[in-house]
Amino acid sequence: MARRRMFTTEFVDADRFLDLPVNVQMLYIYMNLHADDEGFVGGSKRMAALYECPDGLDLLERENYIIRFDSGILAIVDWHLNNTIRKDRSVPTFHQTERQQLQVINGRYTRMTTHRQPNDNQMSTNWQPDDNQMSTNWQPNDNHLATQNREEENIIDNNIINKNKSEYIISEQTGGDKSATWEPETSDDKKYPDIMTVFNYCREQNLNYVNIGEFCDYYQQRNWCDDDGKPIEDWKYVLRLRNASEFSSRLASGLEI
């Protein structure tokens, strides 16, 4: 089980979190430190008493920071946004009954929606077609066939129009040279990621040492340019380099890897 827990600065510096009473903030941080590798906490009432905030759990639940269960166990909603634990070091939670009631959407725990189950009467009553219904099969008439043919002709005409439009655009962009290739311009909004895109990529690639919040802040303030002022062409490559650099620094400093 991992013994180190993390918080992103975007989370703890947010007005929504800072508006909580200080003892409730400390309670939340304390619960994060003592949660298991999947963000589940036991003994939460004892922790609330320790910080003299008996209503702190109710407040955190109302503000959607935690999910509480009748068993007394609670789950930290934003656990996966703050903590990324290597799969070979992560220990499954002991509270599997509670874990099976939750799902992770965009890095946050939510309760699974319950689907209504049919009762015995509904399950035993299955509609069956009678003989007249089984023997009646719809057949298209001439009008239906003519309509279908017109729709197919329209599809073909549209494809020809779109092809002509594409050739015209290529011709305009390449100065009349149809053999040249033309690529549409991509906007910076689509070229560079937001923090959730970086977070998901780190999880997929097991990049466990880079600070996602610092990475995004650093390059967003520089309009996604490198130290020489040149636009970054491959942010994923830069992210992997940053992760490798952080790994080497921890290794050289004798920190836990």
pLDDT tens digits, one per residue of 133-164: 554 455 556 655 555 655 555 555 555 545 55
Q: Which pairs from 56-65 meet CB under 8 Å and 24+ separation?
A: 56/21, 56/23, 56/24, 56/27, 57/27, 59/20, 59/21, 59/24, 60/20, 60/24, 60/27, 60/28, 63/16, 63/20, 65/28
Alpha-carbon span 30 to 106, nearest angstrom:
24
Q: What element of type H or E holds 41? A: strand 40-41
pLDDT tens digits, one per residue of 86-116: 777 788 888 999 999 999 998 899 998 765 4
Q: What's the pTM?
A: 0.43
* Mean predicted confidence (pLDDT) in 33-41: 90
Q: What is the pLDDT of residue 189?
A: 47
Are the beta carbons of 34 and 88 closer than 8 angstroms? no
Domain boundaries, the chain: 9-111, 188-247
Q: What is the pLDDT of residue 69?
A: 94
- Please state the φ and ψ torsions of residue 40, each to the nearest 5 degrees: -105, 145
